[in-house]
Copies of this chain bind each other. A is one copy, B any other.
């Protein structure tokens, strides 16, 4: 039977508790669709700092290297906040993982289901049917990794600098991911840049215009990043796919996630180069953070972790039926009124549940 290896990095905060629910769901689809996974659970983030002194220990990297994909929980918390940035859980684990595995394409769905518009901070009448945006963020370039980056003394005072840099091929490949995604959806793509100020954005925009020629069915438009930050607030449902560079994607995808109102339901995928056969090595994680304030209480929404598992099945294992089954079961559980605290209103027809009971509801609908 088909068999795969997954590195499981649950991390900190709510990570472990939502991860165990996701693994229960994975067990169920394995049984149902006839494949198996070998899972290696490894330390990452604050948990790894506590155990080994480093947020991304070599054994964790080795385990990821030996796997078909990484299922990631979340990292960080007040306990490690005063460490130097380089060894903090988030930065010290996420950036090296992205760079080491060349995970240049970050796919972040920003979905507000029609039944959950009340949870969005945006007025219901602006999003009568909810919305469904896919944000495609370049994840290994730009000002995150550009050199030179640092500090020196000039004219007797400290001067600090970062370099925002893009090779054309880096822009080209992320745009192709976005155009391809758009082809499988609403065929509308908004490319976000700051071409009125940045040289990197001028190259970005030129490349977008070129790549667009290979996708004549996709209707592409350009937005400046400041305008995009405005339109996301006022008209989130006008977007289909949005593509942008690393730093802008960091800001806009988080803004979009907050606007969806259901941070606890949003998965993400960070993909490397496509392999032969169409699959990707990738890392899959909830869009939200480790939520230390509610960790250990059994009330966190496990859906983001469960849907991240579905993305893993689709993009890294090619188990598309299992992925679709999970997504359908999640949608059904929501339709049937199951609500964790983050998305509950107290309205009639809702059943308020905790982490495990939400997973139970999903399992029952698989």
Chain B: CB-nearest residue to A250: B226
With beta carbons under 8 angstroms apart, the residue of B85, B199, B234, B250 that contacts A162 is B199
Interface string of A229-249 (1 = CB under 8 A from B): 110011000000000000110
Whether A229 lies near B252 (C-beta < 8 A) is: yes
Whether B200 lies near A91 (C-beta < 8 A) is: no
Interface string of A218-233 (1 = CB under 8 A from B): 0000000111011001
Whether A143 lies near B164 (C-beta < 8 A) is: yes
Chain B: CB-nearest residue to A257: B230
A17 within 8 Å of B (CB atoms): no
Closest CB in chain B relative to A241 CB, distance in Å: 19
Q: Within the assembled complex, what's the spacing in Å between the Cα atoms of A199 and B126? A: 39
Closest CB in chain B relative to A304 CB, distance in Å: 15
Segment with Cβ contacts to B, from A42-50, A64-72, A189-197, A350-358: A189-197
Q: Within the assembled complex, what's the spacing in Å between the Cα atoms of A196 and B143? A: 12
A324 within 8 Å of B (CB atoms): no
A258 within 8 Å of B (CB atoms): yes
Chain B: CB-nearest residue to A167: B159
Residue pairs across A and B with Cβ atoms less than 8 A apart, 20 shown, are A91-B196, A121-B233, A122-B233, A123-B124, A143-B197, A149-B199, A151-B202, A159-B168, A160-B199, A160-B204, A161-B163, A162-B200, A163-B163, A194-B247, A225-B250, A229-B229, A229-B258, A230-B258, A234-B258, A248-B251
A169 within 8 Å of B (CB atoms): yes
Q: Which of A120, A126, A162, A254 has the most CB of B within 10 A?
A: A162
Q: Within the assembled complex, what's the spacing in Å between the Cα atoms of A226 and B200? A: 21
Q: A121-B126, A151-B203, A259-B233 are in contact. Are A85 and B163 (CB under 8 A)?
A: no
Q: Within the assembled complex, what's the spacing in Å between the Cα atoms of A168 and B143? A: 20
Interface string of A147-168 (1 = CB under 8 A from B): 0011100100111111111111
The interface residues of chain B lying within 8 Å CB-to-CB of A159 are 165-168
Interface string of A1-29 (1 = CB under 8 A from B): 00000000000000000000000000000
The interface residues of chain B lying within 8 Å CB-to-CB of A144 are 197
Whether B163 lies near A168 (C-beta < 8 A) is: no
Interface string of A242-281 (1 = CB under 8 A from B): 0000011011101101110000000000000000000000
**Footprint of B on A, CB under 8 Å?**
85, 88, 90-91, 95, 120-124, 126, 143-144, 146, 149-151, 154, 157-169, 194-200, 202-204, 225-227, 229-230, 233-234, 247-248, 250-252, 254-255, 257-259
Closest CB in chain B relative to A227 CB, distance in Å: 7
Whether A85 lies near B150 (C-beta < 8 A) is: no
With beta carbons under 8 angstroms apart, the residue of B196, B204, B227, B255 that contacts A229 is B255
Whether B161 lies near A162 (C-beta < 8 A) is: no
